[in-house]
Structure 1
């Protein structure tokens, strides 16, 4: 199982580049859409906390995969139909630095 996750992580781009206007839209999405489950302050709610402290142990590539594919059996949906891999990586890095 770990080797599958490692291979998937290699498939994601290393440099998550998005246009400044799209970055603003993604930031708004994180605050509103993610905040609806993870709390508007990202300190938790229905979903786990998404603070930099809570995510300190997580690798951005792993977070991006969770964003893209969701978590089966939980309320975490897959965002792959709406986000590119670069956008998911941008969100992962944004969450880790806030």
Structure 2
């Protein structure tokens, strides 16, 4: 899995997010999540991850999906690679409009 090489399992207990970690997460979402959700996050194999499609979704539900995946679907769990604060930042960012890679 590409993510394991890039991020390793050390981030599962990462400290609060700094700008460098946020940049890593932007890259992860754009590349790894984008492979199913579309490079612009407008959908593909997985659903669109745009503010419009996520506006009525509770943040805790999005965080749970990121960390634990969706059994019976192609959505994998990311808990071995992401901390809860990572998943929270991703969910919040997706609901606001996900940033481009810097």
Normalised by the length of structure 2, the TM-score is 0.78
Which residues in structure 2 correspond to 1:1-98 (within 5 Å)? Answer: 17-98=16-97
The 4+ residue runs of structure 1 with deviation greater than 6 A are: none
Q: What's the CA shift for 1:80? A: 0.1
Structure 2 stretches lacking a partner, 5+ long: 1-15, 98-102
| Aligned residue pairs, count | 82
Q: What's the CA shift for 1:40? A: 0.6
RMSD: 0.7
Structure 1 stretches lacking a partner, 5+ long: 1-16
Normalised by the length of structure 1, the TM-score is 0.81
Cα distance in 2 for residues equivalent to 1:53 and 1:87: 22
